[in-house]
Structure 1
């Protein structure tokens, strides 16, 4: 109680007797206006403190040998997951064909409902008593070594499932024209699986690491490989004349997220109106260092983009040229 009394007596501005001052209208107006201005200034400064302005500064990027992480989430409502692949390549000649690491695929029905979710490359059925490389069937306590059907690069190389046979063919630059003639593909029901997924779509998402140089990555049907210095996709096994590459890009970013980042391709949707064609997105990537008010730095990127739609006739010899795809070309500006 004694403490409260002392607090009441505490006054930074000693009072004077009322006989020595008088209240006026102008003084009241000045007091009111001053109070309002102080309140407005307080909230103005508080808003500036809570929402700091971002200042930009351009400097030369002298870094070398770094990598770029590309994060994506794209839905193809008319392409089944079993035929959809992702490739990346750059001007240095490095290629990542049929990328599967850190990639997740969701099978979706015509209504967009999820049927199945699994990491890419996972889910092939087990094969009982498959055909050995030497021609006989797998016997008890015998190690399985499947034939690569002429595509092996060493005498002791084995292809134990359909995917490994297709990969061996890809490395050779060969097209797999009839999977039913391949023991592994026949036993795994490769063509049957494609037929069962007819009419389905695919949501593919994840991230890839590429060199921090100009290049491109694309989503396309078929198994990709190099043939006569050309990048081609083997579509013969799917027994279709055309593919619908309509798509919606839910998310596409380069590097880590930072406050205020704008990704121009987020929520972009394209519907294919013709039997053939491809969508090309041209992206300018600007390496960025974001520093917050506490001095923490985030190494990331900003992007700008353009879109081009091409209508192309396709050729078929022993392979199909890459014609129908969503093609994203990336160019890096050497500035931050």
Structure 2
């Protein structure tokens, strides 16, 4: 008691006697309304406190020597799978020829129905019944007709199938010419099998893993090869049946890396793009500006997503047929090679989407206390005004 007595002089909250208090109906109504408002606003503050927001920021991309993943799904309805190849080139000089290890080709009928899927993943034995993809077992070592001598050292020295001969010729940068000139192709009736498929279309889908630098990947007819600094395609089969083929296509999907968080609902610019043309000598080009995007989750135990977004400029043009630089007409075209080309340029910046808490605990408590103080003061002011107004009215 002796300790409490000195503290009374500091009490700014003087107490009134219960009998001296006056309770009114208007005061009770104001109390209920203000209490409801306080509870509602506190609930809003709690939702804001618990909310996770995504804040973007831009930094210089620090990555060096990274690989980039390209996901694609493209349908070419007027060219059979056997004619199409997927190639990758970049400014460092790396050349991925006729990529097969991560690409599947789906044969389509003229009506767009699936005939079979040639899944070209390594060591995959599916679709062995396709006569164009058969690999009969042979104990003998088939002749590669001199191609192995000029091919890279890792090229197998035996060509027991028609496809093995064609592969060796491609790695030696030779045009395949007439397949009937090779014993393996004659025994497999390669040309006859191709004749039965030339009216088909093709869906190409899969992934490419490329250096993160400027370059291109393209889908074009004919087996590709390099001659000096030139990138060429042996389009003999394409040229022979030009009236049956064209470069019409549908891009179902084209993305660079895994998808971002679902909260970022940006559609890829080329998804579901449809192009139709009736000319075989036509080239579609897409100039893509690719920017690194990173999504950082609020929870530290969740893995950061590294991906890319892009903008695109489209260009399409006819190509004049005919020889160029003394090359046969089926090897090259004036103005380039018909096909679908994706030219990729890499932006120097990185956009980081970072998840953060909508509010801090300190901010939440500060807002709640400010709300309580303001609401109580305003309610008391209104109540006092109504009370004084009634007193004046009575007098």
Q: One fold, TM greater than 0.5?
A: yes
Q: Residue 96 of structure 1 corresponds to which residue in structure 2?
A: 96
SS at match of 1:285: strand
Q: Residue 147 of structure 1 corresponds to which residue in structure 2?
A: 143
Q: Residue 11 of structure 1 corresponds to which residue in structure 2?
A: none
Q: Residue 332 of structure 1 corresponds to which residue in structure 2?
A: 346
Check conservation: 2:83, 2:237, Cα contact below 8 A.
Answer: no
Q: Residue 158 of structure 1 corresponds to which residue in structure 2?
A: 158
Q: Is 2:286 aligned against 1:286?
A: no
TM-score where L is the length of structure 1: 0.81
Check conservation: 2:89, 2:95, Cα contact below 8 A.
Answer: yes
Moved more, 311-320 or 70-79: 311-320
C-alpha separation in 2, matches of 1:152 and 1:188: 21
Structure with max Cα Rg: 2
Q: Is 2:134 aligned against 1:125?
A: yes
Check conservation: 1:179, 1:237, Cα contact below 8 A.
Answer: no
SS at match of 1:192: helix
Q: Residue 321 of structure 2 corresponds to which residue in structure 1?
A: 314
Inter-CA distance 27–187: structure 2 relative to 1 (3 Å threshold): farther
Aligned residues: 305
Map residues 49-128 of structure 1 onto 2, 5 A cutoff.
Answer: 49=50, 52-120=52-120, 123=128, 124-127=133-136
Check conservation: 1:170, 1:226, Cα contact below 8 A.
Answer: no
Q: Is 2:35 aligned against 1:23?
A: no
Q: Residue 303 of structure 1 corresponds to which residue in structure 2?
A: 310
TM-score where L is the length of structure 2: 0.70
Deviation of 1:48 (Å): 8.3
C-alpha separation in 2, matches of 1:268 and 1:47: 40
Deviation of 1:222 (Å): 1.0
Indicate the structure with greater helix content: 2
Q: Residue 267 of structure 1 corresponds to which residue in structure 2?
A: 272
Q: Which runs of 5+ in 1 are unaligned?
A: 1-15, 129-137
Moved more, 304-313 or 59-68: 59-68
Instruction: After superposition, give the CA deviation of every residue in 1:194-226 in whole Å (9 maximum; x if it has no partner).
Output: 221122111111101111111100011111111
Inter-CA distance 287–240: structure 2 relative to 1 (3 Å threshold): same
Moved more, 277-286 or 34-43: 34-43
Deviation of 1:27 (Å): 5.6
Instruction: After superposition, give the CA deviation of every residue in 1:175-194 in whole Å (9 maximum; x if it has no partner).
Output: 11100111112222222222
Deviation of 1:236 (Å): 1.1
Q: 1:251 aligns with which of 250, 253, 265?
A: 253
Q: Which runs of 5+ in 2 are unaligned?
A: 1-17, 351-395
